[in-house]
């Protein structure tokens, strides 16, 4: 997998995780589920940011 493909995948995963979090929040899911989804979204966003910073370091 190329760097660009990895970055695209990380961005897609971050977007999907955030959308899942928003959907659960809007539907009023249990607070523990919402917290878990928020954590997943943050991890995915961090992974994406890490990949971007690796590109800047090169």
Question: pLDDT tens-digit profile of 14-49?
Answer: 999 999 999 998 998 899 998 999 999 999 999 999
The answer to whether the CB of 39 falls within 8 A of the CB of 12 is no
pLDDT of 58 above 60: no
Which of the two residues, 56 and 22, has the higher pLDDT score?
A: 22
Output the pLDDT for position 46: 94
For 27-56, b where at least 16 C-beta lie within 10 A, e where not — what string?
Answer: eeeeeeebeebbebbeebbebbeebeeeee
Please tell me the pTM assigned to this model.
0.79
d(CA 13, CA 2): 16
């Amino acid at each position: 997998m190329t760097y660009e493909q990895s970055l695209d995948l990380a961005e897609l995963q971050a977007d999907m995780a955030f959308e899942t979090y928003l959907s659960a929040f809007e539907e009023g899911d249990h607070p523990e589920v919402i917290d878990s989804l928020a954590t997943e979204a943050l991890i995915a966003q961090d992974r994406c940011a890490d990949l971007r910073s690796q590109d800047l370091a090169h």
